[in-house]
Each structure stands twice: as C-alpha cells, then as structure tokens.
C-alpha cells in the first residue's frame, strides 16, 4: 500500500472486499483484510473501505458484475470525496 500511495500521493483509495464467496464469507480472508484495513485507515485519511454485499459462489458472471458495479456506484455517490463543490 505504501508503494501505491507513493506513486499516487493524492489519490483516493478504496479497498474492496467481497464479490466472490471467499472475499464475502471466508474468515480466513476476512480477518486479515479487516486487520490490514484497520491498521492502514488511521495512517491514511485518503483511504477507505467498502464491503460488497452481493457475491457469487462461483466466478461472477455478467449479471453479478452488474449488481456489484451498481452497488459500488451507489456507495461512491454517497462519498464526500466524489461530490462536486
């Protein structure tokens, strides 16, 4: 993450989780993800997280991708960093 921040110092970074069963429900993946994000967020005010609610039990298909995109777009529209002043 530090290298990404160094390359893009003013970028807003959103760390996503979900979309597939592993990212959505696996404790083995969820616990380290939460630990990493919890550690990184206080260090970087331009970083935030979003957990997708929709997920696919197999490789997501086009219909899943549309639902996931709509979910992310709806969340992004609520974020202050995307509102025009």
From the number of C-beta atoms within 10 Å of its C-beta (0-12, 13-18, 19+), residue 68 rates as buried
- How many CB atoms neighbour CB 28 within 10 A? 7
pLDDT, residue 54, reads 81
Residues spanned by the domain of 35: 2-82
- Average pLDDT of the residues in 10-37: 87
Residues 34-51 pLDDT 10s: 999 999 999 999 999 999
pLDDT, residue 40, reads 95
Higher pLDDT, 36 or 60: 36
- How many domains, the chain? 1
Q: Which long-range contacts (CB under 8 A, 24 or more apart) does 35-39 make?
A: none
């Amino acid at each position: 993450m530090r290298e990404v921040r160094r390359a893009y110092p003013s970028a807003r970074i959103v760390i996503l989780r979900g979309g597939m069963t592993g990212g959505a429900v696996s404790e083995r993946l969820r616990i380290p993800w939460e630990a990493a994000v919890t550690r990184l967020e206080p260090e970087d005010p331009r970083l935030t997280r979003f957990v997708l609610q929709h997920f696919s039990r197999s490789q997501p298909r086009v219909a899943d991708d549309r639902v996931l995109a709509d979910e992310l777009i709806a969340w992004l529209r609520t974020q202050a960093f995307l509102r025009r002043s």
